[in-house]
Structure 1
Amino acid sequence: MPTRSLLAAAVLGAALVAPAASPSVGAPSVAAPSVAAPSVAVAGVPSERAAAARFAALERQYDARLGVVALEVDTGRVVAHRPDERFAFASTVKALQVGALLRTATEADLDRTVRWTEDDLVTYSPVTEQHVADGLTVRELADAAVRYSDNTAANLLFDELGGPAGLTAELRRIGDTTTTSVREEPDLNTAVPGDVRDTSTPRALARSLASYTLGCVLAPDRRAELVDLLVRNTTGDALVRAGAPDGWTVGDKTGSAAYGTRNDIAVAWPPAGSNRSPVVIAVLTSGDEADDPTHDALVADATRVTFAALGVGRAG
C-alpha cells in the first residue's frame, strides 16, 4: 500500500474500510485499513510551507484562529493547520447526530411522528416552528436539522439519541474519542475559550464525517441518505462550497456560535471523469471576544488555500 494511503488510514481511522460510494454524487470507493502511521502529513514540502504561510496570513487578516484538516481519500494527501486544537463545534454536530441516528435507528423509528409544543421551540427553528400542530417524523427532523440547521429539530434528535451523552457515547463507538457533546441548543453555542464542553478538533470532525459518509459505519442506503441531506444543505453556499473547485459537488454542515465561531465540515466530490478522489474537509474558526464577528469568507478562503495545497485549483 502506498505511504499516502497509510496516512489516509491514520487520519480517518479504522471505521473507513472498503465502503461503497454514494450513487447520488458518483463518489468512488475508498479503502483505508487501520494501520500505525504518522497522523498528519501534507502534500509535499513546498505545498506545506506555502499553505502554512497562507493560513497564518488568513488568521492575521481576519483576526481569528483557524483550524483545518483536509484529506484526499484515495491519495492520502493531507493538509492540516491546528488539527488538534479544540473549537466549539456549533451546528456541525447536527451532521454527526444524523449519522449516529441512521446507524442505530430502525425504519420504524425513522418513520415515527414526533410532536412538541410551543414551549419546546428554541431560537432559530425555521422548520419545526411551522409544525407544532402536526409534528414531523424523525426522518423529517433529520432533514430539518441538517439542511436548515433547525435547532429545535436538533434537540428532538438529541432525545432520540439519549441526549448529548448518548451522542458522545455513539461517537466513541465509531472511534471518535475527542468530540464531546454536553448541552443542547442553544446553550451549546456559548463557545467560551477553554471550555471543552461541546467542542471537537478539525481532525476528529473530519474523521467522524468521513466515517459516516465514506466509510462502512452506515449501511449503503443509510450512507446515501446522509450524503443526500448534506449535498442539499441550504446553509453552506458561502463557506466550503464557495472555496471548492469549480464543478465539484459539496455536501456540508455549517455552524455558528459566540466568540466568532464559524465552521463548516464537508465532503467534496470531483466532477465525473476527473482523476481526483473525494476530499474530506473540516474548517473551524474562532475569535477572542464573545461578540467577535463570524467570517464566512475566512472559511471560503481557507478552503481555497487547502485545495491549492492539494494541487486542485478553481478549474478543478
Structure 2
Amino acid sequence: MVLSPTRRTGLAALAAFVLVPVTACGPSGSGTAPEAEASAASHATEASAGLAREFERLEKEFDARLGVYAVDTGTEEEVVHRPDERFAYCSTHKAFSAGAVLQRNTPEEMEEVITYTEDDLLDYAPITEQHVDTGMTLMELTDAAVRYSDNTAANLLFEELDGPDGFEEAMEAVGDDVIEADRVEPGLNEAVPGDIRDTSTPRAMAESLRKFTLGDALPEDRRDVLTDMLVNNMTGDELIRAGVPEGWEVGDKTGSGGYGTRNDIAVLWPPEGEPIVLAVMSSRDEEDAEYDNALIAEAAEVVVEALA
C-alpha cells in the first residue's frame, strides 16, 4: 500500500566539480576581496583533492570502479567522482519507468488492471507471482517495480511505455539525452564493460531523479506518489541508507547486475536544509564478480560528510 505522501520541493541547475561551493555576486563595489577569493579557491581545491583520495581509496579497497554524483539542492554544491562515465543502470531504471508511467496516465488509468500469464513471470517476481490469476493495477505494478524491484512488473511497465525505445523517449522528454535504453529485464543487467546498451552516468541519473522527485517532470500528486514509493523501498537498507546519519529520510532505488555492478540512486532529506540528490554506481572487471553493498554505503558516507 502506498502511504500518504511527504511533499518535497526544489529544482535547480547543476555544475561540474568534485566539491564546488556556489557563491553569489554582490552589487558593484561589494564583491569578494581577491584575498578571500583566493582563500576560497584554495579551500575548494583542497576539499576536492581530499574527496578524490577518499573515493580512490574506496576503489582500491573494494577493487571496483566507482561513480558518484551528488548535489545539495539548497546550495548547489556538488560531490563527484567519475560522474560522466557510463555504468549499466540495472534496476535503478525502475524509478524512471514508474515515473514515466505515472506521467502518461491519469489517476483513473493507473487503476486499470493489467493481466499477464505464468509465461510472463521472470525469476525474480516476488509480487507479480502472487497475482497471476487476478492481474494487477498499473499503480500496483509501479509499486512492485519500485519498492520490491519485481522484474516482471518492470517489463509490464516497459510494455506500457512501448518498450525500451518508448522509455528512452520518455527520458528524453524530461531532458535526459544520456541514457541508452535497449533491452528489458533481465537482459539489461548483463553490464558487459564497454557495452553502452542500457547504461547511463551518475550525473544523468541524479539529474533525472531530481526532475521526477523534486522538479516538474510530474504533477505534484503523482510526484508525491513516486517519492513515497522510493521512501518506502524495501531493497536499500544496506546501501545509501546505511551511509547516512540517523534522523535523515532516504528515498532510493537500487540495482545490480553482472560484473559486480551495484547501484543506488536516492534523494536524502536531512533534518535541516534542502534535499541532497545522490547517485552511486559501481562495477568490477570480472563477469562473475560479486558486489559489496558496503562500497555504496561508504561512498554515501563520504558524500554526506562533505555536504552536511
Provide the TM-score with structure 1 as the length reference: 0.87
Give the Å deviation of 1:45: 2.6
Equivalent residue number for residue 284 of structure 2: 287
Distance 1:219 1:286 in 2: 35
- Matched residues, percent identical? 52
Structure 1 counterpart of 2:17, from 31, 40, 45? 40
How many residues are treated as equivalent by the alignment? 282
Q: Hey, what's the Cα distance between the residues in 2 that align with 1:308 and 1:123?
A: 39
| CA deviation after TM superposition for structure 1 residue 308, in Å | 1.2
C-alpha deviation, 1:270, in angstroms: 1.2
Cα offset for 1:154?
A: 0.2
Tell me how far 1:31 sits from its aligned partner.
4.7
- Give the equivalent residue in structure 2 for 1:261: 261
For residues 308 and 281 of structure 1, the distance between their equivalents in structure 2, rounded to whole angstroms, comes to 13
Return the match for 1:30 from 4, 10, 16.
Answer: 10
Matches within 5 A, 1:112-131: 112-131=112-131
* Unpaired segments ≥5 residues, structure 1: 1-22
SS in 1 for 2:108: helix
**How is 1:1-316 mapped onto 2 (pairs within 5 angstroms)?**
24-25=5-6, 27=8, 29-32=9-12, 38-43=15-20, 44-271=44-271, 274=272, 276-310=273-307, 312=308
Whether the 8 Å contact between 1:69 and 1:79 is mirrored in structure 2 is yes
Summarize deviations over 1:180-206 as a string: whole Å, max 9, x none: 111010011100001111000000000
Q: Which runs of 5+ in 2 are unaligned?
A: 21-43
Q: Determine the C-alpha separation between the residues in 1 that align with 2:123 and 2:202.
A: 26
Q: Is the 8 A contact 1:48 1:309 kept in 2?
A: no
The equivalent of 1:3 in structure 2 is none
SS at structure 1 position matched to 2:191: coil
Conservation of the 8 A alpha-carbon contact between 1:66 and 1:283: yes
Report how far residue 25 of structure 1 moved: 3.8
Q: How many Å apart are 1:38 and its aligned residue?
A: 4.7
The alpha carbon displacement at 1:230 in A equals 0.1
Measured on the aligned residues, the alpha-carbon RMSD in Å equals: 1.3
| Contact in 2 for aligned 1:70/1:306 (Cα 8 Å) | yes
Structure number with greater Rg is 2
Cα shift at 1:107: 2.1
1:103-122 Cα shifts (integer Å, max 9, x gaps): 11122321110111111111
